[in-house]
Amino acid sequence: MKLFVLTMVCVFLQVSHQNPTGHWTLLPHILVVEAPCDQMPLRCLEQPAELLRKDAKIEDIFWRKDGNEKEQKGNTYTLEECLGGNFTCHSKDGSLLNHTVVLIQDNETNRRRDENLNCSATNYNGEFLCSWPKLTGLGGKVAFIKARRVSDNYETQCSVDKSGRRWTCSSGQSNLICSVDKKKKRKRKISCRDEQHCPFTEESQHIDITVYVWRKYFYLDNYSKRFLLSEIVKPDKVEISKVNNTTIQWSYPSSWSSPYSYFPLSFEIAQLRRGCERCKDLCGNIKSTETLTFNSSDVCQFRVTQRRTKVVCVRAKDALCDSPWSEWSHIRMS
C-alpha cells in the first residue's frame, strides 16, 4: 500500500493543545498519558491538507488500535478509555498515515514504588548496578533510562543506541552510561558508569536515576533512586585462608579501590562454636564478637581467641562511610 510521507511531519501522533490530560513523549512514536485519561484526543496529521491526496477527505481517515478498526473517523481520535495500545491512522485505501504507542502511567502507583530501585557499587570507580522488583504476571522491558548528577544549572540529554540496550545521559556535571542486562533471567538489572567520576575527590552531587519499565497491557512504571556512591558501596566478599590451626588471614577484595590507605575497610569477625555441615548460610543471624579496622595492609591476620571455635566469619565495609556490609565469608577451623 502507498504510504503518504511529508518530510517535515512530526514522527509521532500530535496531541491536541486543548487536551487537559497530562502527557509527554517518551521516545518518537511512544506517548505517555497520565491517568486519568479523560477524553484525550490524538491527532493523525498536523497538516492534513498537504498530506492527503486531492481526491481524499479528512472524513475518510479511519483508526486502528492494535490492528482492530475503530468506529471513530477523521483526523482526531479521542481515547474513550484509559487503556493504552498501538494506534494507527489510515487513508481510505488503507495506507498508513501515522502511528504511535500510547502507554498509561498511574502516578499514584508509581509514587508507592518510589525508592524501589536497589543500587549498589563494589568500589569507587564510578560503576554501579541497579535492579527493581519483579511484578508477577506483568513482565516488562526497559523503555527509558534517565541518569544524572543532581544540579540545577545543567540540562541532561539522554539517548539510546540502535540496540535499545545502551543509554547515554550527558550534562555539564556528568556523563552516565547505562546498559540493560542481556540475560533474560536478569533483565530487571542495569549496569551504569559515571565516566566523569573521580574516586579521589569528594562527591558534591547525588546521582539521580529513573528507570521506566514498559509493562504488559501498555502500562508504564518508573523506579527512582537518589544516592551518593559512598552510600551504596558494598565490598565483595573477602577470601579467607588458614595460617595454622589457630590463625586465619584474609585480604582486601581484588575489586576494591586502591590504595588501601586511602580507601580503608573495616572488618567484622565472628567466632562460632557450631559448625552445621548442611547449613548454606553458616554466618546468618549472628552477632560479632570482635571488630577490627585495618588502614593500609591488604593482608590481615586474626588469631582465634575462643576455645572450641568451629567456624570463623568475616565481612567488610568502608571504614569511613556509613555504607552496607559485604556478605559474610567463612572458614571452618576443625
Ranges assigned E (strand) in 132-206: 141-149, 157-160, 166-170, 175-180, 189-194
The pLDDT of residue 144 is: 93
287 has pLDDT over 70: no
318 has pLDDT over 50: yes
What's the CA gap between 160 and 136, in Å, rounded?
27
Cα-trace Rg, the chain: 28
Which of 29-38, 151-160, 273-282 holds the top average pLDDT? 29-38
Q: What is the pLDDT confidence band of residue 40, given thresholds at 50, 70 and 90?
A: confident
The pLDDT of residue 77 is: 92
Mean pLDDT of 287-297: 63
Percent of the chain with pLDDT over 90: 45
Summarize pLDDT for 203-248 with one digit per residue, the tens: 888 999 999 999 888 999 889 999 999 999 999 999 999 999 889 9
C-alpha cell at 248: 586465619
Mean pLDDT of 140-150: 90
Give the range among 1-5, 157-161, 186-190, 289-293 with minimum mean pLDDT: 1-5
